[in-house]
Structure 1
Amino acid sequence: MVEVIGAGFGRTGTMSVRGALEALGFGPCHHMADILGDPVAAVRWTAALRGDREALRAAVAGYRATADFPGCLLWRELRELFPDAKILLSVRDPERWYRSAAETIFDPLMDQVFAKLGPETVELMAALAERGFRHTSREAAIAWFTRHNAEVRATVPSEKLLVYRVSEGWAPLCAFLGAEVPPEPFPRINDADDFTAAADNFLGGA
Protein backbone atom coordinates (compact mmCIF):
# COMPACT_ATOMS: atom_id res chain seq x y z
CA MET A 1 0.00 0.00 0.00
CA VAL A 2 1.34 3.41 -0.97
CA GLU A 3 1.83 5.61 2.10
CA VAL A 4 3.76 8.51 0.55
CA ILE A 5 2.91 9.95 -2.86
CA GLY A 6 5.68 11.99 -4.45
CA ALA A 7 4.07 14.82 -6.40
CA GLY A 8 7.32 16.60 -7.27
CA PHE A 9 8.66 16.59 -10.82
CA GLY A 10 11.87 14.88 -11.78
CA ARG A 11 14.95 17.10 -11.33
CA THR A 12 13.74 18.27 -7.92
CA GLY A 13 15.96 15.79 -6.10
CA THR A 14 13.66 12.81 -6.52
CA MET A 15 16.45 10.23 -6.45
CA SER A 16 17.59 11.67 -3.13
CA VAL A 17 13.97 11.66 -1.96
CA ARG A 18 13.70 8.02 -2.93
CA GLY A 19 16.85 7.17 -1.01
CA ALA A 20 15.65 9.10 2.02
CA LEU A 21 12.20 7.50 2.05
CA GLU A 22 13.68 4.04 1.80
CA ALA A 23 16.15 4.81 4.60
CA LEU A 24 13.18 5.84 6.76
CA GLY A 25 11.37 2.56 6.11
CA PHE A 26 9.03 3.74 3.34
CA GLY A 27 10.46 1.42 0.76
CA PRO A 28 10.46 0.28 -1.82
CA CYS A 29 9.85 3.70 -3.37
CA HIS A 30 8.83 3.74 -7.03
CA HIS A 31 10.84 5.95 -9.37
CA MET A 32 11.08 6.36 -13.13
CA ALA A 33 14.32 4.40 -12.92
CA ASP A 34 12.26 1.31 -12.04
CA ILE A 35 10.43 1.45 -15.36
CA LEU A 36 13.27 1.92 -17.81
CA GLY A 37 14.20 -1.47 -19.22
CA ASP A 38 11.05 -3.13 -17.82
CA PRO A 39 8.52 -3.50 -20.66
CA VAL A 40 5.74 -4.78 -18.37
CA ALA A 41 6.05 -1.74 -16.12
CA ALA A 42 6.17 0.56 -19.15
CA VAL A 43 2.93 -0.92 -20.52
CA ARG A 44 1.19 -0.57 -17.14
CA TRP A 45 2.23 3.04 -16.67
CA THR A 46 1.27 3.90 -20.24
CA ALA A 47 -2.23 2.56 -19.58
CA ALA A 48 -2.36 4.36 -16.23
CA LEU A 49 -1.41 7.68 -17.81
CA ARG A 50 -4.26 7.17 -20.27
CA GLY A 51 -6.84 6.65 -17.53
CA ASP A 52 -6.72 2.97 -16.55
CA ARG A 53 -7.00 2.92 -12.75
CA GLU A 54 -6.46 -0.82 -12.45
CA ALA A 55 -3.25 -0.49 -14.44
CA LEU A 56 -2.16 2.21 -12.00
CA ARG A 57 -2.92 -0.03 -9.04
CA ALA A 58 -0.88 -2.81 -10.64
CA ALA A 59 1.98 -0.41 -11.43
CA VAL A 60 2.46 0.52 -7.76
CA ALA A 61 1.69 -2.89 -6.26
CA GLY A 62 4.29 -3.71 -3.64
CA TYR A 63 5.52 -0.12 -3.27
CA ARG A 64 5.16 1.96 -0.13
CA ALA A 65 6.04 5.27 -1.77
CA THR A 66 6.39 6.95 -5.15
CA ALA A 67 8.68 9.67 -6.46
CA ASP A 68 9.46 11.25 -9.83
CA PHE A 69 7.69 10.64 -13.14
CA PRO A 70 5.27 9.23 -14.06
CA GLY A 71 3.71 8.94 -10.60
CA CYS A 72 3.96 12.68 -9.93
CA LEU A 73 1.62 13.32 -12.87
CA LEU A 74 -0.91 10.89 -11.38
CA TRP A 75 -0.82 12.18 -7.82
CA ARG A 76 -4.57 12.86 -7.84
CA GLU A 77 -5.37 9.35 -9.06
CA LEU A 78 -2.96 7.81 -6.56
CA ARG A 79 -4.56 9.84 -3.79
CA GLU A 80 -7.96 8.44 -4.76
CA LEU A 81 -6.57 4.90 -4.60
CA PHE A 82 -4.72 5.57 -1.33
CA PRO A 83 -6.65 8.29 0.52
CA ASP A 84 -4.60 7.93 3.70
CA ALA A 85 -1.31 8.57 1.93
CA LYS A 86 0.68 11.72 2.57
CA ILE A 87 1.74 13.95 -0.34
CA LEU A 88 5.38 14.96 -0.68
CA LEU A 89 5.92 17.84 -3.12
CA SER A 90 9.63 18.24 -3.80
CA VAL A 91 10.36 21.65 -5.32
CA ARG A 92 13.20 23.87 -6.46
CA ASP A 93 13.60 27.27 -8.07
CA PRO A 94 11.78 27.10 -11.44
CA GLU A 95 14.69 28.53 -13.43
CA ARG A 96 17.15 26.09 -11.87
CA TRP A 97 14.69 23.25 -12.43
CA TYR A 98 14.41 24.15 -16.10
CA ARG A 99 18.17 24.33 -16.60
CA SER A 100 18.58 20.92 -15.01
CA ALA A 101 15.69 19.42 -16.99
CA ALA A 102 16.97 20.85 -20.27
CA GLU A 103 20.36 19.21 -19.66
CA THR A 104 18.88 15.82 -18.69
CA ILE A 105 15.30 14.62 -19.14
CA PHE A 106 14.61 17.04 -22.02
CA ASP A 107 17.95 16.42 -23.73
CA PRO A 108 17.42 15.08 -27.29
CA LEU A 109 19.95 12.37 -26.38
CA MET A 110 17.24 10.77 -24.26
CA ASP A 111 15.16 9.96 -27.34
CA GLN A 112 17.95 7.62 -28.40
CA VAL A 113 18.02 6.03 -24.95
CA PHE A 114 14.25 5.46 -24.97
CA ALA A 115 14.37 4.02 -28.49
CA LYS A 116 17.04 1.51 -27.44
CA LEU A 117 14.97 0.50 -24.43
CA GLY A 118 12.21 -0.71 -26.76
CA PRO A 119 8.81 0.18 -28.19
CA GLU A 120 7.09 -0.06 -24.81
CA THR A 121 9.29 2.74 -23.48
CA VAL A 122 8.75 4.82 -26.61
CA GLU A 123 4.98 4.50 -26.11
CA LEU A 124 5.34 5.38 -22.44
CA MET A 125 7.13 8.57 -23.41
CA ALA A 126 4.31 9.35 -25.85
CA ALA A 127 1.80 8.95 -23.01
CA LEU A 128 3.92 11.20 -20.79
CA ALA A 129 4.00 13.81 -23.55
CA GLU A 130 0.19 13.70 -23.65
CA ARG A 131 0.26 14.68 -19.97
CA GLY A 132 2.64 17.61 -20.56
CA PHE A 133 6.09 15.96 -20.45
CA ARG A 134 7.59 17.53 -23.55
CA HIS A 135 10.14 20.21 -24.23
CA THR A 136 8.55 22.92 -26.32
CA SER A 137 10.16 26.06 -24.89
CA ARG A 138 11.65 27.39 -21.68
CA GLU A 139 8.52 29.45 -21.00
CA ALA A 140 6.14 26.53 -21.57
CA ALA A 141 8.20 24.15 -19.44
CA ILE A 142 8.43 26.56 -16.51
CA ALA A 143 4.70 27.34 -16.77
CA TRP A 144 3.92 23.60 -16.64
CA PHE A 145 6.18 23.15 -13.63
CA THR A 146 4.80 26.09 -11.66
CA ARG A 147 1.19 25.30 -12.53
CA HIS A 148 1.57 21.71 -11.33
CA ASN A 149 3.10 22.78 -8.03
CA ALA A 150 0.41 25.40 -7.49
CA GLU A 151 -2.34 22.83 -8.11
CA VAL A 152 -0.87 20.46 -5.53
CA ARG A 153 -0.52 23.23 -2.95
CA ALA A 154 -4.07 24.42 -3.56
CA THR A 155 -5.64 20.96 -3.42
CA VAL A 156 -3.99 18.96 -0.65
CA PRO A 157 -4.86 19.80 2.97
CA SER A 158 -1.87 21.22 4.83
CA GLU A 159 -1.74 18.35 7.33
CA LYS A 160 -1.31 15.89 4.45
CA LEU A 161 1.22 17.91 2.45
CA LEU A 162 4.93 18.61 2.77
CA VAL A 163 6.40 21.12 0.33
CA TYR A 164 10.03 20.15 0.48
CA ARG A 165 13.48 21.05 -0.80
CA VAL A 166 16.08 18.31 -0.51
CA SER A 167 18.54 20.94 0.76
CA GLU A 168 16.47 20.95 3.97
CA GLY A 169 17.70 17.45 4.79
CA TRP A 170 16.18 15.05 7.27
CA ALA A 171 14.41 17.27 9.79
CA PRO A 172 11.22 18.37 7.97
CA LEU A 173 10.84 15.03 6.20
CA CYS A 174 11.14 13.04 9.43
CA ALA A 175 8.76 15.37 11.26
CA PHE A 176 6.20 15.02 8.47
CA LEU A 177 6.41 11.22 8.45
CA GLY A 178 6.74 10.76 12.20
CA ALA A 179 10.14 9.10 11.82
CA GLU A 180 13.35 9.45 13.80
CA VAL A 181 16.23 11.28 12.18
CA PRO A 182 18.74 8.66 11.01
CA PRO A 183 22.40 8.87 12.03
CA GLU A 184 23.62 8.68 8.42
CA PRO A 185 23.90 11.77 6.18
CA PHE A 186 20.97 12.66 3.97
CA PRO A 187 21.40 10.97 0.57
CA ARG A 188 22.59 13.16 -2.30
CA ILE A 189 22.03 11.23 -5.50
CA ASN A 190 21.95 11.82 -9.26
CA ASP A 191 23.09 15.30 -10.13
CA ALA A 192 22.90 16.41 -13.74
CA ASP A 193 26.46 15.33 -14.59
CA ASP A 194 25.80 11.81 -13.27
CA PHE A 195 22.58 11.62 -15.30
CA THR A 196 24.23 12.64 -18.55
CA ALA A 197 27.18 10.32 -18.00
CA ALA A 198 24.83 7.40 -17.40
CA ALA A 199 22.97 8.12 -20.64
CA ASP A 200 26.21 8.41 -22.58
CA ASN A 201 27.50 5.15 -21.10
CA PHE A 202 24.25 3.37 -21.96
CA LEU A 203 24.38 4.46 -25.58
CA GLY A 204 28.06 3.65 -25.86
CA GLY A 205 27.70 0.23 -24.32
CA ALA A 206 24.40 -0.88 -25.80
Structure 2
Amino acid sequence: MATPKTNTTTTTTPLLKRTLTLLLSPLTDLHLSLHNPLWTFLETTLYALPHPPPRRKRTAPMRVICVGLPRTGTESLQQALLALGYSHTYHGWDIVYDESGGAGYAPGWVRLARKKWCNDISGKGEGEVEGVITAAEFDELLGHSVAVTDAAASVFAAEMVAAYPEAKVVLNMRRDVDAWERSLRKTLVHANQSWGFWIASWLDKECFWAWHVYERFLWPLLFRAPDGDMARAIEGNARWVQREHCNMIRGLVPKERLLEWYIEDGWEPLCKFLGKPVPNVEFPHVNTATGGWKAREEQCNKRWVERAFLNLILLFTGLIISIIVARRYLF
Protein backbone atom coordinates (compact mmCIF):
# COMPACT_ATOMS: atom_id res chain seq x y z
CA MET A 1 0.00 0.00 0.00
CA ALA A 2 1.89 3.03 -1.22
CA THR A 3 2.06 6.34 0.58
CA PRO A 4 0.06 8.94 -1.34
CA LYS A 5 2.49 11.66 -2.41
CA THR A 6 1.50 15.26 -1.89
CA ASN A 7 1.00 17.17 -5.16
CA THR A 8 3.65 19.85 -5.71
CA THR A 9 0.95 22.50 -6.06
CA THR A 10 -0.46 21.86 -2.61
CA THR A 11 -0.40 24.61 -0.02
CA THR A 12 0.46 22.16 2.75
CA THR A 13 3.58 23.32 4.59
CA PRO A 14 6.73 21.16 4.55
CA LEU A 15 6.47 20.77 8.33
CA LEU A 16 2.92 19.42 8.05
CA LYS A 17 4.01 17.05 5.28
CA ARG A 18 6.79 15.66 7.46
CA THR A 19 4.46 15.38 10.44
CA LEU A 20 1.83 13.50 8.45
CA THR A 21 4.44 11.18 6.99
CA LEU A 22 5.82 10.42 10.46
CA LEU A 23 2.41 9.83 12.02
CA LEU A 24 1.04 7.74 9.18
CA SER A 25 4.16 5.75 8.30
CA PRO A 26 3.11 2.71 10.37
CA LEU A 27 0.12 2.36 8.03
CA THR A 28 1.67 3.47 4.76
CA ASP A 29 4.72 1.24 5.07
CA LEU A 30 2.77 -1.99 5.54
CA HIS A 31 2.65 -2.88 1.81
CA LEU A 32 0.20 -5.68 2.52
CA SER A 33 -0.52 -8.16 -0.25
CA LEU A 34 -4.02 -7.68 -1.58
CA HIS A 35 -5.16 -11.09 -0.39
CA ASN A 36 -3.80 -10.57 3.13
CA PRO A 37 -6.43 -11.63 5.72
CA LEU A 38 -6.28 -8.14 7.24
CA TRP A 39 -7.98 -6.70 4.16
CA THR A 40 -10.72 -9.32 4.38
CA PHE A 41 -11.20 -8.44 8.03
CA LEU A 42 -11.48 -4.71 7.28
CA GLU A 43 -13.81 -5.30 4.32
CA THR A 44 -16.19 -7.49 6.27
CA THR A 45 -16.18 -5.65 9.61
CA LEU A 46 -15.13 -2.02 9.95
CA TYR A 47 -15.89 -1.07 6.35
CA ALA A 48 -18.74 -3.42 5.54
CA LEU A 49 -21.45 -1.39 3.82
CA PRO A 50 -24.68 -1.44 5.85
CA HIS A 51 -27.06 -1.81 2.92
CA PRO A 52 -25.36 -3.64 0.03
CA PRO A 53 -27.39 -3.48 -3.19
CA PRO A 54 -28.94 -6.64 -4.65
CA ARG A 55 -27.07 -8.72 -7.20
CA ARG A 56 -28.16 -7.90 -10.70
CA LYS A 57 -29.28 -10.24 -13.46
CA ARG A 58 -28.84 -9.80 -17.19
CA THR A 59 -31.86 -7.98 -18.60
CA ALA A 60 -30.61 -7.60 -22.21
CA PRO A 61 -27.66 -9.04 -24.16
CA MET A 62 -24.26 -7.40 -23.84
CA ARG A 63 -23.69 -5.79 -27.23
CA VAL A 64 -20.58 -3.57 -27.08
CA ILE A 65 -17.38 -3.82 -25.02
CA CYS A 66 -15.02 -0.82 -25.27
CA VAL A 67 -11.70 -2.12 -23.99
CA GLY A 68 -9.48 0.97 -24.31
CA LEU A 69 -7.35 2.05 -21.37
CA PRO A 70 -8.35 5.01 -19.16
CA ARG A 71 -8.13 8.52 -20.61
CA THR A 72 -8.82 7.33 -24.17
CA GLY A 73 -12.21 8.98 -24.47
CA THR A 74 -14.04 6.41 -22.37
CA GLU A 75 -16.75 8.73 -21.05
CA SER A 76 -17.14 10.46 -24.42
CA LEU A 77 -17.61 7.01 -25.88
CA GLN A 78 -20.16 6.19 -23.19
CA GLN A 79 -22.17 9.29 -24.08
CA ALA A 80 -21.93 8.44 -27.78
CA LEU A 81 -23.22 4.91 -27.19
CA LEU A 82 -26.07 6.22 -25.06
CA ALA A 83 -26.99 8.57 -27.91
CA LEU A 84 -27.02 5.58 -30.27
CA GLY A 85 -29.51 3.76 -28.04
CA TYR A 86 -27.19 1.56 -25.98
CA SER A 87 -28.80 2.11 -22.61
CA HIS A 88 -27.36 1.54 -20.15
CA THR A 89 -23.67 1.95 -21.09
CA TYR A 90 -21.58 1.19 -18.01
CA HIS A 91 -18.61 3.46 -17.20
CA GLY A 92 -15.94 3.33 -14.52
CA TRP A 93 -17.72 6.06 -12.59
CA ASP A 94 -20.61 3.63 -12.12
CA ILE A 95 -18.40 1.47 -9.91
CA VAL A 96 -18.49 4.11 -7.17
CA TYR A 97 -21.32 6.43 -8.28
CA ASP A 98 -23.93 3.84 -9.23
CA GLU A 99 -27.36 5.50 -9.40
CA SER A 100 -29.03 2.72 -7.43
CA GLY A 101 -26.17 1.49 -5.26
CA GLY A 102 -23.59 4.27 -4.83
CA ALA A 103 -20.31 2.51 -4.06
CA GLY A 104 -22.22 -0.60 -3.05
CA TYR A 105 -21.07 -2.62 -6.04
CA ALA A 106 -17.38 -1.80 -5.47
CA PRO A 107 -16.88 -4.89 -3.24
CA GLY A 108 -18.00 -7.04 -6.15
CA TRP A 109 -15.34 -5.55 -8.41
CA VAL A 110 -12.72 -6.06 -5.70
CA ARG A 111 -13.73 -9.72 -5.52
CA LEU A 112 -13.33 -10.11 -9.29
CA ALA A 113 -9.98 -8.30 -9.20
CA ARG A 114 -8.74 -10.73 -6.56
CA LYS A 115 -9.95 -13.63 -8.66
CA LYS A 116 -8.13 -12.28 -11.72
CA TRP A 117 -4.81 -11.36 -10.15
CA CYS A 118 -4.64 -13.39 -6.94
CA ASN A 119 -6.56 -16.47 -8.09
CA ASP A 120 -8.72 -15.92 -5.02
CA ILE A 121 -12.06 -17.76 -5.16
CA SER A 122 -12.92 -17.59 -1.47
CA GLY A 123 -16.66 -17.62 -1.05
CA LYS A 124 -17.06 -18.89 -4.58
CA GLY A 125 -20.47 -19.85 -5.81
CA GLU A 126 -21.56 -23.11 -7.35
CA GLY A 127 -19.84 -23.81 -10.65
CA GLU A 128 -17.10 -21.17 -10.27
CA VAL A 129 -13.75 -22.08 -11.78
CA GLU A 130 -10.34 -20.83 -10.69
CA GLY A 131 -9.01 -18.09 -12.96
CA VAL A 132 -12.24 -17.81 -14.97
CA ILE A 133 -14.69 -14.93 -14.55
CA THR A 134 -18.03 -15.89 -16.03
CA ALA A 135 -20.76 -13.82 -17.63
CA ALA A 136 -22.95 -14.57 -14.62
CA GLU A 137 -20.37 -12.98 -12.30
CA PHE A 138 -20.14 -9.86 -14.46
CA ASP A 139 -23.93 -9.74 -14.75
CA GLU A 140 -24.26 -9.47 -10.96
CA LEU A 141 -22.58 -6.06 -11.29
CA LEU A 142 -23.61 -4.76 -14.72
CA GLY A 143 -26.46 -6.97 -15.85
CA HIS A 144 -28.56 -3.88 -16.56
CA SER A 145 -26.02 -2.67 -19.16
CA VAL A 146 -25.78 -3.50 -22.86
CA ALA A 147 -22.41 -1.77 -23.33
CA VAL A 148 -19.41 -1.10 -21.12
CA THR A 149 -16.41 1.26 -21.24
CA ASP A 150 -13.52 2.39 -19.04
CA ALA A 151 -12.35 0.54 -15.92
CA ALA A 152 -14.46 -2.60 -16.02
CA ALA A 153 -13.87 -3.17 -19.73
CA SER A 154 -10.15 -2.38 -19.83
CA VAL A 155 -9.13 -4.10 -16.60
CA PHE A 156 -11.20 -7.21 -17.39
CA ALA A 157 -10.88 -6.99 -21.18
CA ALA A 158 -9.82 -10.58 -21.83
CA GLU A 159 -12.40 -11.96 -19.41
CA MET A 160 -15.26 -9.91 -20.88
CA VAL A 161 -14.34 -10.76 -24.46
CA ALA A 162 -14.58 -14.44 -23.51
CA ALA A 163 -17.69 -14.04 -21.33
CA TYR A 164 -19.70 -12.23 -24.01
CA PRO A 165 -18.70 -13.84 -27.33
CA GLU A 166 -21.52 -12.16 -29.28
CA ALA A 167 -20.60 -8.62 -28.23
CA LYS A 168 -18.72 -6.32 -30.59
CA VAL A 169 -15.42 -4.96 -29.31
CA VAL A 170 -14.12 -1.41 -29.67
CA LEU A 171 -10.43 -0.80 -28.98
CA ASN A 172 -10.50 2.93 -28.22
CA MET A 173 -7.18 4.77 -28.30
CA ARG A 174 -5.59 8.21 -28.62
CA ARG A 175 -3.18 9.02 -31.42
CA ASP A 176 -1.17 11.46 -29.33
CA VAL A 177 0.45 9.15 -26.78
CA ASP A 178 2.23 12.05 -25.08
CA ALA A 179 -1.11 13.81 -24.49
CA TRP A 180 -2.57 10.54 -23.19
CA GLU A 181 0.26 10.14 -20.69
CA ARG A 182 -0.11 13.76 -19.53
CA SER A 183 -3.83 13.14 -19.03
CA LEU A 184 -3.06 10.09 -16.88
CA ARG A 185 -0.79 12.17 -14.68
CA LYS A 186 -3.37 14.95 -14.29
CA THR A 187 -6.12 12.55 -13.29
CA LEU A 188 -5.19 9.06 -12.11
CA VAL A 189 -1.86 10.08 -10.58
CA HIS A 190 -3.35 13.23 -9.06
CA ALA A 191 -6.07 11.19 -7.33
CA ASN A 192 -3.53 8.60 -6.18
CA GLN A 193 -1.42 11.33 -4.55
CA SER A 194 -4.31 12.99 -2.71
CA TRP A 195 -3.69 12.98 1.04
CA GLY A 196 -7.26 14.15 1.65
CA PHE A 197 -8.78 11.29 -0.33
CA TRP A 198 -6.49 8.72 1.30
CA ILE A 199 -7.11 9.91 4.87
CA ALA A 200 -10.85 10.14 4.21
CA SER A 201 -10.81 6.54 3.00
CA TRP A 202 -10.10 5.43 6.57
CA LEU A 203 -12.89 7.58 8.02
CA ASP A 204 -15.84 6.86 5.72
CA LYS A 205 -17.05 3.46 4.51
CA GLU A 206 -18.01 4.49 0.98
CA CYS A 207 -14.78 6.43 0.59
CA PHE A 208 -12.85 3.38 1.79
CA TRP A 209 -14.34 1.33 -1.03
CA ALA A 210 -13.75 4.05 -3.62
CA TRP A 211 -10.06 4.15 -2.70
CA HIS A 212 -9.83 0.40 -2.21
CA VAL A 213 -11.25 -0.57 -5.60
CA TYR A 214 -9.41 2.04 -7.65
CA GLU A 215 -6.21 2.88 -5.78
CA ARG A 216 -5.32 -0.60 -4.51
CA PHE A 217 -6.77 -2.83 -7.21
CA LEU A 218 -7.97 -1.67 -10.61
CA TRP A 219 -5.61 1.08 -11.76
CA PRO A 220 -2.42 0.01 -9.94
CA LEU A 221 -2.66 -3.59 -11.09
CA LEU A 222 -3.61 -2.60 -14.64
CA PHE A 223 -0.46 -0.46 -14.82
CA ARG A 224 1.66 -3.05 -12.95
CA ALA A 225 2.01 -1.11 -9.69
CA PRO A 226 1.31 -3.63 -6.90
CA ASP A 227 2.75 -1.14 -4.40
CA GLY A 228 0.09 1.39 -5.45
CA ASP A 229 2.57 4.02 -6.67
CA MET A 230 0.75 5.30 -9.76
CA ALA A 231 3.23 8.10 -10.50
CA ARG A 232 6.08 5.64 -10.92
CA ALA A 233 3.86 3.21 -12.82
CA ILE A 234 2.63 5.76 -15.34
CA GLU A 235 6.13 7.10 -15.90
CA GLY A 236 7.71 3.69 -16.35
CA ASN A 237 4.95 1.39 -17.55
CA ALA A 238 2.12 3.27 -19.26
CA ARG A 239 3.39 3.02 -22.82
CA TRP A 240 4.35 -0.63 -22.81
CA VAL A 241 1.19 -1.57 -20.91
CA GLN A 242 -0.85 0.22 -23.57
CA ARG A 243 1.10 -1.48 -26.36
CA GLU A 244 0.74 -4.96 -24.88
CA HIS A 245 -2.92 -4.37 -24.05
CA CYS A 246 -3.69 -3.46 -27.65
CA ASN A 247 -1.74 -6.44 -28.98
CA MET A 248 -3.60 -8.75 -26.59
CA ILE A 249 -6.96 -7.49 -27.86
CA ARG A 250 -5.89 -7.92 -31.50
CA GLY A 251 -4.88 -11.47 -30.73
CA LEU A 252 -8.08 -12.32 -28.86
CA VAL A 253 -10.77 -10.76 -31.03
CA PRO A 254 -11.56 -11.79 -34.63
CA LYS A 255 -11.17 -8.89 -37.08
CA GLU A 256 -14.85 -8.89 -38.01
CA ARG A 257 -15.76 -8.38 -34.36
CA LEU A 258 -13.19 -5.66 -33.63
CA LEU A 259 -13.01 -1.92 -34.36
CA GLU A 260 -9.78 -0.06 -33.69
CA TRP A 261 -11.03 3.45 -33.07
CA TYR A 262 -9.41 6.72 -32.08
CA ILE A 263 -11.32 9.40 -30.20
CA GLU A 264 -10.47 11.78 -33.05
CA ASP A 265 -12.34 9.53 -35.53
CA GLY A 266 -15.74 10.60 -34.24
CA TRP A 267 -19.06 9.13 -35.34
CA GLU A 268 -18.56 7.66 -38.80
CA PRO A 269 -16.38 4.56 -38.24
CA LEU A 270 -18.12 3.82 -34.95
CA CYS A 271 -21.61 4.00 -36.46
CA LYS A 272 -20.56 1.96 -39.50
CA PHE A 273 -19.17 -0.76 -37.25
CA LEU A 274 -22.30 -0.84 -35.09
CA GLY A 275 -24.73 -0.56 -37.99
CA LYS A 276 -26.19 2.71 -36.75
CA PRO A 277 -27.02 5.94 -38.63
CA VAL A 278 -24.67 8.84 -37.94
CA PRO A 279 -26.38 11.32 -35.58
CA ASN A 280 -26.73 14.89 -36.76
CA VAL A 281 -24.93 16.22 -33.68
CA GLU A 282 -21.32 16.82 -32.75
CA PHE A 283 -19.51 13.86 -31.23
CA PRO A 284 -19.46 14.29 -27.42
CA HIS A 285 -16.23 15.31 -25.70
CA VAL A 286 -16.54 15.04 -21.93
CA ASN A 287 -14.50 14.17 -18.83
CA THR A 288 -11.50 16.35 -19.65
CA ALA A 289 -8.96 16.77 -16.88
CA THR A 290 -10.17 20.34 -16.24
CA GLY A 291 -13.85 19.68 -16.95
CA GLY A 292 -15.74 16.49 -16.20
CA TRP A 293 -12.94 14.97 -14.12
CA LYS A 294 -12.71 18.11 -11.98
CA ALA A 295 -16.46 17.99 -11.42
CA ARG A 296 -16.17 14.38 -10.23
CA GLU A 297 -13.40 15.36 -7.81
CA GLU A 298 -15.68 18.03 -6.37
CA GLN A 299 -18.46 15.46 -6.11
CA CYS A 300 -16.06 13.17 -4.25
CA ASN A 301 -15.18 15.98 -1.83
CA LYS A 302 -18.83 16.75 -1.16
CA ARG A 303 -19.91 13.14 -0.88
CA TRP A 304 -17.08 11.49 1.03
CA VAL A 305 -14.17 13.69 2.05
CA GLU A 306 -16.21 16.37 3.82
CA ARG A 307 -18.28 13.70 5.55
CA ALA A 308 -15.13 11.83 6.58
CA PHE A 309 -13.53 14.88 8.14
CA LEU A 310 -16.80 15.71 9.90
CA ASN A 311 -16.61 12.19 11.37
CA LEU A 312 -13.05 12.95 12.48
CA ILE A 313 -14.11 16.21 14.15
CA LEU A 314 -16.97 14.46 15.93
CA LEU A 315 -14.61 11.71 17.06
CA PHE A 316 -12.08 14.14 18.54
CA THR A 317 -14.85 16.21 20.09
CA GLY A 318 -16.24 13.09 21.75
CA LEU A 319 -12.79 12.13 23.01
CA ILE A 320 -12.15 15.58 24.46
CA ILE A 321 -15.53 15.63 26.20
CA SER A 322 -14.86 12.14 27.58
CA ILE A 323 -11.47 13.20 28.92
CA ILE A 324 -12.92 16.33 30.55
CA VAL A 325 -15.72 14.33 32.18
CA ALA A 326 -13.31 11.63 33.32
CA ARG A 327 -10.90 14.16 34.85
CA ARG A 328 -13.73 15.90 36.67
CA TYR A 329 -15.42 12.86 38.17
CA LEU A 330 -12.66 10.27 38.43
CA PHE A 331 -9.65 12.27 39.58
Asked if TM exceeds 0.5, the reply is: yes
- Other-structure match for 1:69: 151
1:133–1:17 Cα change, 3 Å: farther
| RMSD of aligned residue pairs (Cα, Å) | 2.1
Q: Does 1:2 align with 2:92?
A: no
Shift of 1:95: 2.1
1:43 is aligned to 107
Aligned to 1:103: 186
Aligned partner of 1:160 in structure 2 is 257
Q: Are 1:14 and 2:74 counterparts?
A: yes
Q: Which structure is higher in RCO with an 8 Å CA cutoff and minimum separation 6?
A: 1
In the alignment, what sits opposite 2:85? 25
Q: TM-score scaled by structure 2?
A: 0.57
Name the SS of the counterpart of 2:280 in structure 1: coil
Q: Is the 8 A contact 2:92 2:150 kept in 1?
A: yes
Partner of residue 221, structure 2: 130
Distance 1:176 1:14, change over 3 A: same
Shift in CA distance, 195/20, structure 1 to aligned 2, threshold 3 Å:
closer
In the alignment, which residue of structure 2 is the partner of 1:146?
Answer: 243
Q: In the alignment, which residue of structure 1 is the partner of 2:268?
A: 171
Q: Please say which structure displays the higher CA radius of gyration.
A: 2
After superposition, the Cα gap between the structure-2 partners of 1:200 and 1:50, relative to the gap in structure 1 and judged at 3 Å, is closer
The change in CA–CA distance for 1:11 and 1:131 in structure 2 (over 3 A counts) is: closer
**TM-score normalised by L of structure 1:** 0.89
Separation (CA, whole Å) in 1 of partners of 2:70 and 2:195: 17
Identity level (%) = 27
Matching residue within 171, 180, 183 for 1:89? 171
Residues 113 and 88 of structure 1, relative CA distance in 2, 3 Å threshold? farther
Cα distance in 1, alignment partners of residues 296 and 88 from structure 2: 24
Structure 1 pair 86–204 and aligned structure 2 pair: CA distance change class (3 A): closer
**Mind listing any 5+ residue stretches in structure 2 that lack a counterpart?**
1-60, 116-132, 307-331
Q: CA deviation at 1:42?
A: 0.5
How far, CA to CA, are the matches of 1:194 and 1:133 in structure 2? Answer: 28
Structure 1 stretch displaced more, 163-172 or 50-59: 50-59
Shift in CA distance, 177/133, structure 1 to aligned 2, threshold 3 Å = farther
